[in-house]
Amino acid sequence: MNNESLAPTADGTESERTTLLIAYILHGLAVFNGITAIAGVIVNHLKAGETGSSFVGSHHRWLIRTFWWGLLWAFVCALLTMVFIGALGFLVLAVWWIYRIVRGVLNYTERKPMPV
């Protein structure tokens, strides 16, 4: 086994970055099914406190906030569907969700932390 991949760096270990990438994939797939975001946010909550890397931690917090704000707005849009404007809200929510995932992945690939 290669010990270099386990060595901590400023942007986390290879294992932490792989776990983070899996979380991004789970959140990204949620646009199509909604369910995978639940698995993603569980991973984020479990791993956010375990990392010593501010880079990895900032991305986990970014995804946690994306999930909970997205869930809140999905609930609001569901209520607004009763008055026929919720569908537009779901479209706006999907665009916002995709933006947050793409922005996070771009910062991840450039090894930049997410803003607080």
Q: What is the DSSP string of 97-114?
A: HHHHHHHHHHHHHTT-PP
State the Rg of the chain over Cα: 16
Average per-residue pLDDT in the chain? 88
Q: Over the stretch 8-63, which tens digit does the pLDDT of each residue have?
A: 566 778 889 999 999 999 999 998 998 999 999 999 999 998 888 889 999 999 99
Entry pTM: 0.82
Q: Which two tokens stand for residue 9?
A: 């760096």
Q: Where are the domains of the chain?
A: 12-109
Q: In whole angstroms, what separates CA 36 from the centre of its chain?
A: 11
pLDDT of residue 81: 85
The CA-based angle 10-13-18, given to 5 degrees, is 125
- Residue 42: per-residue pLDDT: 96
